[in-house]
Amino acid sequence: MMVRKGGLEMKARTLIIGFLVGAFVPLFWGILGFLLFNFREGLGSRIFWDAVYLTCPFWAIEGNKALVLMPLLNGLTYALLLLVIVRLFSRKSQS
């Protein structure tokens, strides 16, 4: 079974893009949470925190280790998810 060089480059690029997007999601939510710190409790606040925990499941990590683990784990999760999605769509397009 031969593997094309372009296919490996595409997978590597996909993994890197997924990792970078996932690693910056906690930073985005952290900055937005800081800006909306005085946001009233209610539906808007609930929707905000639901979105945070949905897109960044490792937000619950506490302490100093969260500064390293949260972007790392979230980046790995997004990279794997993007790789699965790309593989599913590439199989459908080949059929």
Write out pLDDT tens, residues 34-91.
988 887 888 888 898 899 999 998 888 899 998 899 999 999 999 999 999 988 887 7
User: In Å, how far from its chain's centre is CA 65?
Assistant: 18
Q: Where are the domains of the chain?
A: 25-90
Confidence of residue 1 (pLDDT cuts 50, 70, 90): very low
Determine the Cα–Cα distance for residues 56 and 29; give it in Å rounded to an integer. Answer: 9
Q: What letter represents residue 23's amino acid?
A: A
Closest CA to 7 of 74, 69, 87, 61: 87
pLDDT at 91: 77
CB 23 within 8 A of CB 75: yes
Q: Output 9 or 66, whichever has higher pLDDT.
A: 66
Q: What's the pTM value of the predicted model, to 2 decimals?
A: 0.79
> Is it the case that residue 4 has pLDDT exceeding 70?
no
Q: In sequence order, which residues have a C-beta less than 8 Å from that of residue 6 and are 6 or more positions away? A: none
